């Protein structure tokens, strides 16, 4: 690992911008910015202002993604796109997605004086929905760009019953024009994303930056265990069909099976109904998120969880159901673009960067359907993410932006 990088002015500004975006939140005392919300609109407007300051021509597309573009050595060239997302989970940290967007703007800012030498246009994108927090399906913004908008999404409702269609209209989008967000592969030269690692591997290895080899594709489900709600005092055990006890058995099996099979599976939300202190739970609804380095292993894990849930339900007189709400295939990062990321990291002093696969999902997965993609990870404190404790150092961010810029130069060198 190289010595500490001097903290650059651009890194300081990038971190200030992360703080500024964190203040655009629907959650008092915390960070939450979800797809098609008023906070999403404000964050896009703020990011558009920064893009304009960096010399980019800006527009918001019909899926709510915010774009900026710097022409290359001639107008209309295919673009190298740098980006990430501005939406967040609930009670989020301030760097997931956001650091990638503000770093991309800094790279564009640095390159603008020399853009007329670039053999591609440079675009920056702030995607609208990577997390899926509001509508329980992820990557809606980048999937629209990849031409993979699913018409069934329009009728999906959030927790308050507001559908995607209603939210899009309130946001000022025209649902009939969502297809206009799709980009043609011929107009793209590739997609590069800088993102915090969201895990502890770089920190353990003592490295600031890493090259992502592939991105695991998550499958997400809403699960139901149905039993019978009855009197908590009056119902003897042999007569109970307790949905929560059955669900608890499934939750423990999710962890055990994931460890056994080398995958990662999480029940992040679980609710028992009717929720009375003196009522045997008759229904449990829960979420399930399943990942693995290889899609086949992930799918195997899903089937093992399903088989366990059905077996538990047979034994306890309940029923078990998993309904898929999101599925993304795992994606391999492009060899050539990843070599440019490695060159970029080498330019910051780490000649043999760590290579790692991403356990977290990213917009790059959706973009891979239309253009080659590569990713640069930045170390985060204690591997914490999707929580308010998310943190990065100024030195690592400075090094990350330097590496990102050097990677763009390397892509340009290879395309000349």
Q: Which residues bind ligand GLV (CB under 6 A)?
A: 131, 218, 360-361
Of 103 and 137, nearer to ligand GLV (C-beta) is: 137
With contact defined as beta carbons under 8 Å apart, do 23 and 40 qualify? no
Contact of residue 100 among Mn ion, ligand GLV, none (CB under 5-8 Å per partner type): none
Of 208 and 360, nearer to ligand GLV (C-beta) is: 360
Phi and psi at residue 230, in whole multiples of 5°? -145, 175
Rounded Cα–Cα distance for residues 97 and 137 (Å): 17
Of 43 and 189, nearer to ligand GLV (C-beta) is: 43
Rounded Cα–Cα distance for residues 60 and 44 (Å): 8
Instruction: Give least dist CB 348 to Mn ion, A.
Output: 22
Encoded tokens for 106:
């800094």
With contact defined as beta carbons under 8 Å apart, do 227 and 283 qualify? yes
Quick check: bond before 27 cis, omega within 30? no
Of 138 and 144, nearer to ligand GLV (C-beta) is: 138
For Mn ion, the binding residue among 61, 96, 158, 396 (CB under 5 A) is: 96
What DSSP line would sit under 340-381, residue for residue? HHHHHHHTTT-SS-EEEEESS--HHHHHTTTS-EEEEEE--G
Instruction: Give least dist CB 142 to Mn ion, A.
Output: 11
Alpha helices per DSSP H over 54-193:
98-111, 140-145, 164-171
Pick the stretch among 59-67, 96-104, 263-271, 305-313 that binds Mn ion (CB under 5 A).
Answer: 96-104
Contact of residue 350 among ligand GLV, Mn ion, none (CB under 5-8 Å per partner type): none
Contact of residue 361 among Mn ion, ligand GLV, none (CB under 5-8 Å per partner type): ligand GLV
Instruction: Give least dist CB 412 to ligand GLV, A.
Output: 30
Instruction: Give least dist CB 12 to ligand GLV, A.
Output: 26
Pick the stretch among 13-21, 53-61, 91-99, 140-148 that binds Mn ion (CB under 5 A).
Answer: 91-99
Residues in binding contact with Mn ion, number by CB under 5 A: 2
Instruction: Give least dist CB 360 to ligand GLV, A.
Output: 4
Rounded Cα–Cα distance for residues 155 and 161 (Å): 10
Rounded Cα–Cα distance for residues 266 and 260 (Å): 14
What DSSP line would sit under 273-313, residue for residue? ES--TTEE--EEEEEEEEE-SSHHHHHHHHHHHHHHHHHHH
Contact of residue 54 among ligand GLV, Mn ion, none (CB under 5-8 Å per partner type): none
Distances (CA, A) of 197 to 21, 94, 298, 398: 20, 13, 21, 16
Of 129 and 396, nearer to ligand GLV (C-beta) is: 129
Of 289 and 350, nearer to ligand GLV (C-beta) is: 289
With contact defined as beta carbons under 8 Å apart, do 240 and 281 qualify? no
Q: Calculate ∠ Cα 163-178-45, nearest 5°.
A: 85
Distances (CA, A) of 331 to 358, 362, 376: 10, 10, 15
Of 68 and 97, nearer to Mn ion (C-beta) is: 97
Instruction: Give least dist CB 14 to Mn ion, A.
Output: 16
Instruction: Give least dist CB 388 to ligand GLV, A.
Output: 15
Of 55 and 388, nearer to ligand GLV (C-beta) is: 388
Contact of residue 342 among ligand GLV, Mn ion, none (CB under 5-8 Å per partner type): none
Encoded tokens for 407:
């990677």
Burial readout 373-392 (b: 16 or more C-beta within 10 A, e: otherwise): bbbbbbbbbebbbbeeebeb
For Mn ion, the binding residue among 64, 97, 281, 282 (CB under 5 A) is: 97
Contact of residue 68 among Mn ion, ligand GLV, none (CB under 5-8 Å per partner type): none
Residue 199 within binding range of Mn ion, rule CB under 5 A: no
Instruction: Give least dist CB 195 to Mn ion, A.
Output: 6
Instruction: Give least dist CB 359 to ligand GLV, A.
Output: 7
Binding site for Mn ion (CB under 5 A): 96-97
């Amino acid at each position: 690992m190289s010595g500490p990088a001097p903290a650059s002015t651009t890194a300081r500004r990038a971190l200030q911008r992360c703080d500024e975006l964190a203040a655009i939140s629907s959650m008092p005392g915390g960070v939450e910015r979800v797809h098609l919300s008023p906070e999403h609109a404000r964050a896009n407007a703020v990011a558009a202002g920064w893009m304009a300051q960096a010399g980019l021509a800006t527009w918001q597309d019909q899926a709510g993604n915010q774009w900026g573009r710097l022409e290359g050595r001639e107008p209309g060239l295919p673009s190298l796109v740098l980006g990430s997302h501005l939406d967040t989970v609930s009670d989020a940290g301030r760097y997931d997605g956001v650091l990638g967007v503000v770093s991309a703007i800094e790279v564009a800012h640095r390159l603008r004086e020399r853009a007329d030498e670039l053999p591609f246009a440079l675009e920056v994108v702030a995607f609208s929905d990577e997390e899926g927090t509001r509508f329980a399906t992820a990557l809606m913004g980048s999937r629209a760009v990849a031409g993979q908008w699913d018409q069934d999404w329009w009728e999906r409702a959030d927790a308050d019953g507001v559908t995607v269609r209603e939210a899009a209209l309130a946001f000022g989008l025209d649902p009939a024009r969502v297809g206009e967000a799709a980009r043609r592969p011929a107009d793209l030269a590739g997609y590069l994303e800088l993102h915090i690692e969201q895990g502890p591997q770089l920190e353990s290895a003592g490295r600031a930056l890493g090259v992502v080899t592939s991105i695991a594709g998550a499958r997400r489900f809403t699960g139901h265990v149905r039993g019978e709600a009855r009197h908590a005092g009056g119902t003897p055990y042999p007569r109970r069909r307790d949905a929560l006890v059955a669900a608890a058995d499934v939750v423990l099996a999710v962890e055990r099976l994931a460890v056994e099979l080398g995958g990662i599976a999480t029940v992040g939300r679980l609710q028992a109904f009717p929720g009375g202190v003196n009522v045997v739970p008759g229904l449990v609804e829960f979420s399930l998120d399943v990942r693995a380095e290889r899609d086949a292993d992930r799918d195997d894990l899903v089937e093992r969880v399903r088989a366990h849930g059905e077996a538990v339900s047979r034994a306890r007189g309940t029923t078990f159901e998993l309904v898929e709400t999101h599925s993304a295939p795992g994606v391999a990062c492009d060899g050539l673009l990843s070599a440019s990321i490695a060159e970029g990291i080498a330019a910051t002093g780490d000649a043999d960067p760590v290579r790692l696969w991403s356990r977290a999902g990213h917009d790059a997965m959706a973009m891979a359907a239309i253009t080659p993609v590569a990713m640069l990870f930045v170390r985060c404190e204690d591997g914490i993410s999707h929580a308010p404790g998310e943190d990065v150092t100024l030195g690592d961010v400075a090094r990350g932006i330097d590496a990102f810029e050097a990677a763009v130069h390397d892509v340009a060198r290879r395309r000349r």
